[in-house]
A and B are shown apart, each in its own frame.
Chain A
């Protein structure tokens, strides 16, 4: 048993729903109790799909358990076939139905439906959503493309040089983080390279499309968490190479283009030269110098977390102080990436552990999921969302990919906008202690009466001292000018002059300066924090 406050992934049958909902002509009959239909709202409310997910739930109740739940399943499957006339069906159990062991696969088989029926075995007490999505997609691909596989050990015939190369795009699904827009971005790159897209799957694919996956020369794998298993099977049975570089970020996009061009035997130049990237120039512009060395914490699914860390380090000049993922299946890849930044990877699906890690590392920016957004909000650290689990905000109305050169531009904005802008930060430093421009003064447009007393207090503080760090907004600490030293339980006190000096530090870094100084004092058993201690600590923690 595991105590869980929030969960990054749903159960594996929700992963199966993401595949069924992404595709056309597939219907999923799920043996599940009343209540499991909540999952529909993920698609209709978060992704705002204008149609119900193609899922029929048996919704059995306690009174059915003593009776014939197997009959209930068969009735539901037959009714669903009659009503929706799908070209392929998925059948399976949710967590509760798994316990009553009705065997949906066998029951559906006995109905002799005139379409392929794929039985899913998704162990709910062991596995989670992304695994369920990967397994479902793999089982569908195997069932539908399997009859056309090459003989064991068979080789693809060489492509006629007069024919354009073609590929499949694998992995995009329903409820994915910007999958819809990524497919468009990647398709545009492939088009520039002169590579045809044979099938995009599962998003938008029909069962007929899956049957012809083998016609492509190679596969482009965008989301290994979802499409990895199917891509590996296609590699074995259709001798198709897999493009494994995920084109998130400038560097990765260039590598992706090179990898595709090599496989397709085409010139990468058109795709590379036609790359209008603002992000690279913006990052080099002087205004961005304030981004240098910003401490970032990265957490998400493996693909997006690894990509975000690379962009942060190589394309924005940040310092990665933490990197982690809830994708246990990809722990090895995340650990390898973490090594590049000299940090220990955090592999966990325990939200509380992630929160503790963020609190301890005190990053200046968090790149995470919606869960980390809440952690960051609580700790008053800026945050950008980089990965599922998704929120309605992660389905913007505008075109907003993560992949390709446009994706790099989108990411530049989304990582940088939560931070205080360079010039803004510079001005705050210049005018710190200004009588109208301090944390106690009200906003100028609210009139001048409210903040009179506060302005006087702030004015008393002489302008001085270099800003130790350029940090984002942190909790503001009230520092009364004539503070009486108080003895906290930790055993140090602030001397009044040190407290006054602290008051001169701009409010948006004052909390951090206080915390660092106190930590320094505790570590060195300093009982009285003086002005000297403050600057010793500053020197100690400065980069």
Chain B
């Protein structure tokens, strides 16, 4: 190991001279990519996620899901046992047996993801071959794909990235003379998709599809005429695979807050030849309503100091929203990984002097956080109560992934998520 644990080394390419970026290594207090299954299985309603892993993987998903919310979940774990490791049982034969058992139980499943885990990666169980083999066996009723949600390769939301990237090669192609189409990439709540679609229609971009789709049978077409807009900041591999299919990325900030959403629509408009003024005419009512609804939260949040622990890669867009639209002061913005190209438009909007930290050394970060005494700390569930017990006010970061927060109509909901812990603390007298 060359890097000393916890040492802060300056990153190679400073993005803006007035931003400070340090990379940190040490204990990471983050979820692995398997956690994405919790929202992905709600989004793709005929898909099943089979983790090939250990009891730890099964325990993680059920614990992270808030312990058994869903009566009949569309996820499960094929738990590797000693016989598989000792070579007494052929792991592939065992996997085929488990998949057969599963599909007999759940005949409505159309798409099965075999999800790799730390143990399956370490023992080099080849799930891509298994997926091909099982796809051949169960097609056309069921398609079988694979991706890795392992902690050694993916952090939290990167699991969604890996999942979506695995779907891209199977997307249908667009016809050679097809007109340009727009693909919105990244899981959004259905209600948010519906709102965004109405605005795209009004702007004059009619051929809009969302990815991932609600059903595995409604896969969007992709080709050289496709322009894609990211709805989430953690989709590096998905974007790359889409580009390999000829699709082109539309650079934009993310649709968080009134300004972020406005910029996002304007970027889409520009890519489809719609002037910014025309986009603004369409979105004006929504934009103004969002601004009005944000006003009361601006009063509550303006001037408050916020500290982000790394979690979902949403931290930088959220920090931008909170500082530019609500006047919050950014003490530290941690992110598990910084994709400089996808985040370029966001980074450009951050206030001068913002302290960005990529990666994590949780103990050192906690020391900094306690020393700074911010008004609000955004962190994971393992850290929130211990920090509250020390008198700090916290916001669970996982809620920012599960709650509809994108678009004009959700801007105030997003602000409220940050205001609520502060309001609560001010109400409690005992």
Give chain A's interface residues, CB within 8 Å of chain B. Answer: 1-7, 9-11, 13-14, 33-42, 44-46, 48-52, 56-62, 64-65, 67-68, 71-72, 75-76, 79, 83, 94-96, 99-100, 123-126, 128, 370-371, 374, 377-378, 389, 391
Contact = CB atoms under 8 A, between A and B. Distances in A.
A536 to B, nearest CB: 35
B118 A33 contact: yes
A3 B102 contact: yes
Interface residues of B, number: 65
A4 B76 contact: yes
Nearest to B65: A6
Given A79-B6, A96-B122, A123-B82, A50 B389 contact: yes
Nearest to B122: A99
Given A2-B78, A94-B56, A96-B122, A33 B150 contact: yes
Given A10-B56, A11-B59, A374-B71, A125 B386 contact: no
Most interface-central of B5, B26, B151, B155 (chain A CB within 10 A):
B151
Interface stretch (B28-36, B160-168, B225-233, B252-260): B28-36
A61 B148 CA distance: 13
Interface string B69-84: 0010100111111101
A99 B385 contact: no
A35 B6 CA distance: 18
B5 A79 contact: yes
Nearest to B117: A96
Given A42-B63, A45-B381, A45-B385, A59 B28 contact: yes
B190 to A, nearest CB: 25
Interface stretch (B88-96, B197-205, B213-221, B406-414): B88-96
A34 B32 CA distance: 6
B282 interface: no
Contact of B381 (A41, A72, A75): A41
B28 A34 contact: yes
26 contacts: A1-B84, A1-B95, A1-B97, A2-B78, A3-B79, A6-B62, A9-B55, A11-B56, A35-B151, A36-B56, A38-B35, A38-B382, A40-B29, A40-B383, A41-B64, A44-B384, A49-B386, A72-B1, A96-B118, A123-B82, A124-B56, A125-B54, A126-B81, A128-B55, A389-B67, A391-B67
B278 interface: no
B85 interface: yes
Nearest to A33: B151
Contacts of B385: 44-45, 48-50
A439 B6 CA distance: 65
B68 interface: yes
A52 B382 contact: yes
B207 interface: no
A51 B389 contact: yes
Given A11-B56, A35-B32, A38-B31, A44 B381 contact: yes
Contact of A370 (B56, B67, B102): B67
A52 B389 CA distance: 10
Contacts of A67: 1
A4 B77 CA distance: 5
Contact of A72 (B5, B54, B68, B91): B5
A49 to B, nearest CB: 7
Given A33-B151, A99-B123, A126-B81, A1 B98 contact: yes
Contacts of A374: 68, 71
Contacts of B79: 1-4
Contact of B30 (A34, A75, A99, A126): A34
Contacts of A6: 58, 62, 68
Contacts of B122: 65, 96, 99-100
Nearest to A38: B60
Contact of B153 (A2, A5, A9, A62): A62
A372 to B, nearest CB: 11
Most interface-central of B76, B78, B382 (chain A CB within 10 A):
B382
B81 A125 contact: yes
Given A7-B62, A95-B118, A51 B68 contact: no
Contact of A95 (B28, B101, B119): B119
A377 B72 CA distance: 12
A232 B206 CA distance: 74
Contacts of B95: 1
B156 to A, nearest CB: 8
B334 interface: no
A108 to B, nearest CB: 16
Given A2-B81, A62-B121, A62-B152, A38 B1 contact: no
Interface in B210-254: none
Nearest to A75: B5
Contact of A3 (B63, B98, B121, B384): B98
